[in-house]
Amino acid sequence: MIKFIAQIFVNAVAIFLADYLVPGFIFEGDILTLLIAGLLLGLMNVILRPILRFISTPFIILSLGLFFIVINIGLLWLLEYLVDELTIVGIWAYVWGVVIISFVNMVFGTGRKKKKD
């Protein structure tokens, strides 16, 4: 449970950084809305992403993994649809938003497995 709460904060920071760094990626909400967006993104990553990966396995194999970007863009589009304060204009804003959110989750994410002593 603590891991998921940490993931919500990491997602919120990632959305904030994407808003700050990417032109066309606009978040106009307050911190509570940012945390709600982080929660929604976390839920989509836990529930929808595995299903989409399973369904699109042939495309992922044929594209040598580049189809993951399409899946992440689709999830970001769904987040934009669900959160009124988030507006993303243009395909490059989606692409760079996905890159920044993925990078922040990779660096600060809680998805790393613990080392066994």
- The string of pLDDT tens digits covering residues 12-31 is 999 999 999 999 999 998 99
Average pLDDT, rounded, for the chain:
89
Q: Is the confidence at residue 115, as pLDDT, over 60?
A: no
Residues 92 and 98: their CA atoms lie apart, in Å, by 10
Structural domain that includes position 49: 2-108
Residues 97 and 90: their CA atoms lie apart, in Å, by 11
Residue 117 counted as domain residue: no
Residues 12 and 38: their CA atoms lie apart, in Å, by 5
Task: Tell me the pTM.
Answer: 0.85
Residue 20 counted as domain residue: yes
Residue 74 counted as domain residue: yes
pLDDT of residue 29: 86
22 neighbors 100 (Cβ within 8 angstroms): yes
Q: Domain count of the chain?
A: 1
Residue 33 counted as domain residue: yes
Other beta carbons less than 10 A from residue 91's beta carbon? 10
Residue 114 counted as domain residue: no
Q: Is the confidence at residue 114, as pLDDT, over 60?
A: no
